[in-house]
Each structure stands twice: as structure tokens, then as C-alpha cells.
Amino acid sequence: MNENEKFFLCIKNWLTVFLPKQRCLSPNTIKAYKMTLNLLIEFLRTEKELPLKKITFQIFTHELIIEFLGWLSESRKSSVSTQTAD
């Protein structure tokens, strides 16, 4: 299994096992996390021109997350309170 496959398997397990079964989060909260992850992937693909096969844990830096939050603010008109909810 390559690093990309490990990344997406970990995300899948986090959404389908850890959050609902270990943290007992509501389906709506999990849906919100999933939507945010989908936005992150959209950001990586469109703004960073990163194909899905190149998305691994290693690409995530403090700077990348700051850029993503800025992109959310600009493109989605998300407020800081929306971005930091939960």
C-alpha cells in the first residue's frame, strides 16, 4: 500500500469508525467533517494543482492549512467562527 492509499484509508476509517464509534459524534457532525475534507481536496486539486494520487500526509504543513483557511474565507465566504467551529 502506497502513502496515498494509506492517507485515504486513514481518512475513511476516521470518518466511518473513529468519529461515530469512538467519539460517538452525530451523523451531522461527521457529515460536516466530510464536507470540509472534500473542500480541502478541491483546494488541493484546483489551487495547488495536486492530483489525488499525490495527496499524502507529508504534504500537510502549517502554511498549507493557513492557505486553505484563506481560500475558504475568500472563495466560500466562510467566517473565522465557521472555520473554527467544533
33-59 in b/e burial notation, b at 16+ Cβ within 10 A? Answer: beebeebbeebbeeeeeeeeeebeeee
Amino acid 79: pLDDT? 60
- Compute the radius of gyration of the chain from its Cα atoms: 14
Please give the pLDDT value at position 63. Answer: 97
pLDDT of residue 45: 97
**What is this structure's pTM?**
0.83
Mean pLDDT over each residue of the chain, to the nearest integer: 91
Under-50 pLDDT residues of the chain: 84-86
- 75 vs 61: CA distance, rounded Å: 21
